[in-house]
Amino acid sequence: MLTTSALERFVNKKNIRAAKVVLDMAQRGIREYDAKRMLARYLPEYLNDFSYNGNLALVGPDTDLEDLVSSNPWLKTSRLVVKPDQLFGKRGKHGLVLLDSDWDKAKKYLKENMGSEVVVGGITGRLSHFLIESFIPHEEEFYVAISSDYDGDNIFFSTKGGVSVEENWDKVVPLHIDILAGIEDIDIKSRLPESLGEKRTVVENFIRALWQFYKEMGFTYLEINPFTFYSGAIVPLDMVAKLDDAEEYWQRKRWLDLAFPEPFGRSLSKEEFFIKDLDSKTGASLKLTILNPEGRVWTMVAGGGASVIYADTICDLGFAKEMANYGEYSGDPNTEETYYYTRTILDLMTRHKNPSGKVLLIGGAIANFTDVAKTFKGVTMALEEYKGKLQETDVKIYVRRGGPNYEQGLRLMRDLGRKLGVPIEVHGPETHMTRIVPLALEGASQ
């Protein structure tokens, strides 16, 4: 097989140190609180003498601090660290970490910061969740991270952890674990820096156990930067992790009822939330992201692959700024679902008027099995309902689709066009999939 060379695999360090907080269908970031909770609970299964106490508390907007103290009495007796726990990094750099504090000061900090707006990496968002844990005075900072690629997992270790790991990337020890062979036969100890001295065996055992933990609990990324030794035991200070949400069926229990948070700064509009909710209740796929509510170009495209290509073509023709939304519907949604999906889009696009009018692209590839007539029935129901508003907003509609019962579906659209008082141009598989985009936009720019 053709693999990227071993060296190239490790060069792409940008991949590893990137904040890893993107929303991803399969790989989803989890809170540091949950990652450490899982570590405290399950790492001892692979490492007998792992004695991290897992003193952790999560504070959300509705947390009652008095209740929190009564179930976590250590909050009053330990020195504390308080930091936001919302899938973004570089918290220290942004001055958002409270160190070596007592409970009273922590409460004051929480009061001041809960709900406040901050800008991190160019993204504005509100602080809503904080992790509280014991403060660990330390000098040594180690780095360990595990990521995955096609043919295995990669472990990275460095004795120069913390904020300086990037500057010292050449000091990082990379280990590759083959997906089939596993970690058994890998000589880790001799690869670790001699400067570790007596700790070499401890670190080796920790790395082996951490990989088992990573592999068996459905992780796709895990980074502890830094960890340190406190009274001779390993303590994780900062942790970032992602899980493969496809493993939920097997891991439900071991994931300790955690919830996947939305990425920082991403709050769904009412309409986006409505579609997301609709999506979660059906076997079909319904997605909607609003890009520019005042844009002139709206799309309603069937299929994940085709929706990207329509968006591409709109941008290629120089209308990126006018592109109002991105989304898709697929997986044979029923008439009712397409009705609600269409209605949501029509409602959004008829809120603002534009002197040049607007276009709606109802596009799609040749479907494998989605019944075009059935889905278009829902679309036409919504169009009829919004007849008046569509006329007022000066909307032109362009349709292109193929697949099961497409002739009937297209006929529905043509018939509607005759009585709707809104121009509808209808094309089938004989027209190239994206040809309606130039047809529509050249019209729109007149």
User: Which chain residues interact with other proteins by CB under 8 A?
Assistant: 1-2, 4, 12, 14-15, 18, 22-27, 123, 148, 150-152, 178-180, 215, 218, 220, 244, 246-247, 249-250, 263, 266, 285, 287, 289, 291, 303-309, 311-316, 320-321, 323, 326, 328, 330, 365-369, 402-404, 429, 432-435, 437-438
C-beta neighbour count of 351 within 10 angstroms:
11
Contact residues for 198 (Cβ-Cβ < 8 A; gap 6+)? none
Distance between CA atoms of residues 214 and 216, nearest Å? 6
Query: In 3-state terms, what secondary structure has residue 235?
Result: strand
Are residues 118 and 94 in contact, defined by beta-carbon separation less than 8 angstroms? Answer: yes
Which CB, 328 or 337, lies closer to other proteins?
328
Task: Point out which residues pair with 120 in neighbouring strands.
Answer: 123
- Distance (Å, whole) CA 320 – CA 340: 26
Q: How far is the CB of 189 from other proteins (least distance, A)?
A: 26
* List of residues 6+ apart from 181 with CB closer than 8 A: none
Q: Among residues 174 and 404, whose Cβ is nearest to other proteins?
A: 404
Pick between residue 207 and residue 437 the one whose CB is nearest to other proteins.
437
Residue closer to other proteins, measured from CB, 38 or 314: 314
- Dmax of the chain from CA atoms? 84
Could you give phi then psi for residue 178, rounded to 5 degrees?
-65, 140
- Residue 423: φ, ψ to 5°: -65, 130
Least distance (Å) between residue 49 CB and other proteins? 27
- What is the smallest separation between the CB atom of 164 and other proteins, expressed in angstroms? 23
> How far is the C-alpha of 283 from the C-alpha of 280, rounded, in Å?
8
CB of 183 to other proteins, least distance (A): 14
Nearer to other proteins (CB atom), residue 18 or residue 233: 18
CB of 250 to other proteins, least distance (A): 8
Q: Which is nearer to other proteins, 250 or 273 (CB)?
A: 250
From CA 358, how far away is CA 443, in angstroms rounded? 10
Q: Taking the complex as a whole, how short is the minimal distance between the CB of residue 348 and other proteins, in angstroms?
A: 17
Task: Report residue 397: phi and psi, to 5°.
Answer: -115, 135
A 10 A CB-CB count for 119 gives 10
How far is residue 366 from each of residues 132, 379, 387, 417, measured CA to CA in Å? 53, 17, 28, 22
Residue 293 CB, nearest approach to other proteins (Å): 13
Q: Is the peptide bond before 226 cis (omega within 30 degrees of 0)?
A: yes
Q: How far is the CB of 205 from other proteins (least distance, A)?
A: 23
Closer to other proteins at the Cβ: 226 or 403?
Answer: 403
Angle at 379 between CA 308 and CA 291, to 5 degrees: 40
CB nearer other proteins, residue 379 or residue 436: 436
Q: How near is the Cβ of 268 to other proteins at its closest, in Å?
A: 11
CB nearer other proteins, residue 226 or residue 303 = 303
